[in-house]
Amino acid sequence: MAQEKVEFPITGKITSVNVKVGDEVKEGDTLCLIESMKMENPILAPVAGTITEINISVGELAETGDLVAIIEY
């Protein structure tokens, strides 16, 4: 099986986490929301698969390039 590492494309504050380890996701599902410049931006799953690692929690500040999750497919 292959793995896809999902990283934050922008810096901001995490306002919600919609998945947990073991969840099945489809391509385009919202993994989390990040607030940047007073706008909430969804971070979407780039592939369908299973969440094997999640490295975020609500309230954290995320930097561009920080790891959101790993999806195995």
Residue 62, domain extent: 3-72
**pTM recorded for the entire structure:** 0.94
Q: How confident is the model at residue 18 (pLDDT cuts 50, 70, 90)?
A: very high
Count of domains for the chain: 1
Q: Return the pLDDT at 31.
A: 98
Phi first, then psi: what are they for 57, rounded to 5°?
A: -150, 155
**Each residue of 40-71: pLDDT tens digit?**
999 999 999 999 999 899 999 999 999 999 99
Show the DSSP H helices in the chain as ranges: none
